Amino acid sequence: MPLGYYNQSAYLEIDGQPVSQSSRRPFAPFNLVSPGYLQTMKPRLIAGRFVTPQDDERGRPVAVVNQFMAHRFWPNQDPLGQRFRSTDLGNVWMEVVGVVRDAKVQWIFADPEPFFYVPIAQHYLSLRTLQLRTAGDPAALAPLVQREIHAMAPDMPLFDVTPMTRTLEGPNGFFLIQMAAMFGGGLGLLGLVLALVGVYGVVSYAASQRTQEIGVRMALGANRSDIVRLVLGRGLLLVIVGIGVGVGVALSASRVVANLLFNVSASDPFTFIGVSLLLGAMALVASYVPAWRATRIDPASALKG
């Protein structure tokens, strides 16, 4: 099953391409399928044909390969009509009768690799996977299918009845990526909290260090609104410079993580603007609080301090 935990692979011998003793034999995963696989799982056929009911034990052994396998083993050639065999599949020469587009079959984020399909009628395997395409909720149809199978074969063991949506969330699907995203999101949130606390602490400390200056200005006639604007302006200037430098560095570093992101750009404007506004708001609060406190003290006390 695509993205399932049970997979099959085989060492290959390509007709007309002998392998030296020092070379590693070609290797490719494969799947044993029936003719209905094309309509059910819908692999994109781009050349030749798929498995048909005539591809049984009386017919000539055939195989359908993916694009990557065709380009790798028969570069600049027509793969249709080419032959290969494997000791894992009876060591009979199989003729390539079709080519399908590359797809995710073993792991959702795996790079393209050789893969081929062979008729299950030509290679017996007792373990079978029944795959169904439903018009509605597949979970609601599962009990009906199980009853039909048990009606035909009461002793047939059934297990792992599950929709493909759950398989996509499994270990070979998005599970590890989701865990990594949650972990990375937690670290990012922690980093944001530390950044906010750091901005508040630095700006607040810088503003509190100007208590005597504020006392002098107030003694010379400055009103409270002037003092608040002065402290806020100085604090925001430092934060704006810091945000500008930080955004530039982040945009440069975003290229490193671009391949690890999904459905979002590494230079997502919403993220950059949102974080910048959040840090600016924190700097505003951090500057206002000590400025407001300073305007509440007596100028003479501020000068003595």
- Same structural domain, 195 and 106: no
The overall pTM is greater than 0.85: no
- Same structural domain, 187 and 129: no
Q: Can you tell me the distance from the alpha carbon of 63 to that of 29, in angstroms, rounded to the nearest whole number?
A: 13
Q: Can you tell me the distance from the alpha carbon of 164 to that of 155, in angstroms, rounded to the nearest whole number?
A: 26
Instruction: Look up the domain containing 299 and give its range.
Output: 175-304
Per-residue pLDDT of the chain (305 residues; tens, 9 = 90+): 788 777 888 999 999 888 777 678 888 999 999 999 999 998 999 999 999 999 999 999 999 999 999 999 999 999 999 999 998 898 999 999 999 999 888 888 778 899 999 999 999 888 888 888 888 888 888 888 888 988 998 888 888 888 888 888 887 787 877 888 888 888 888 987 887 788 777 777 776 777 777 777 777 777 778 777 777 777 777 778 888 888 888 888 777 777 667 667 777 788 888 888 887 787 777 777 766 776 676 666 666 65
Degrees to nearest 5, angle at CA 281 with 277 and 284: 140
Whether 154 maps to a domain, the answer reads no
Q: Choose one of 102, 133, 164: the last residue of a domain.
A: 133
- Same structural domain, 197 and 119: no
Q: Are 50 and 65 in contact (CB under 8 A)?
A: no
- Please list, in sequence order, all residues whose beta carbon lies within 8 angstroms of the beta carbon of residue 138, skipping any fewer than 6 positions away: 132, 163, 164
Q: How many domains does the chain have?
A: 2
Whether 166 maps to a domain, the answer reads no
How close are the terminal C-alpha atoms of the chain, in Å? 76
Whether 139 maps to a domain, the answer reads no
